[in-house]
Amino acid sequence: MDYRLDPQVLDLAKSVTGCHGDEELGQKHLGKTGSTVRNYRIGKTNPPIGVLMVLRKLTGRPLDQMFLPIATPVAA
């Protein structure tokens, strides 16, 4: 089973840091562009471990609770 970052983690990080958008969160706290953070949000890419560690520190959310499973279609 595949996993993706739970977008609520990014929302919580924005809330605790006072950031108003993905661009601001990415630039001020994650060292990433807004486009990269949006890709994390929609599940196009997953953040590297360094970004996950920053998100964990900002949110207090354990790493194992930062991800959602992605349903894999069953072959017919």
CATH number of the CATH domain containing 27: 1.10.260.40
Per-residue model confidence (pLDDT) at position 1 = 66
pTM: 0.89
Domain count, the chain: 1
Residue 76 lies inside a defined structural domain of this protein: no
Least confident among 3-7, 53-57, 68-72: 68-72
Residue 66 lies inside a defined structural domain of this protein: yes
Give the tens place of pLDDT for each residue, 10-29: 999 999 999 999 999 999 99
Q: Between the CA of residue 43 and those of 17, 75, 76, what are the distances in Å? A: 22, 22, 25
Report the chain's mean pLDDT, rounded to a whole number. Answer: 94
Sign of CA dihedral 40, 68, 65, 46: negative
Per-residue model confidence (pLDDT) at position 76 = 65
Residue 50 lies inside a defined structural domain of this protein: yes
Burial label for 35, CB within 10 Å (0-12, 13-18, 19+), is exposed
DSSP 3-state helix, strand, coil percentages of the chain (rounded to 5)?
55, 10, 35
Can you give the residue range of the structural domain that contains 6?
Answer: 2-70
Residue 75 lies inside a defined structural domain of this protein: no
Residue 9 lies inside a defined structural domain of this protein: yes
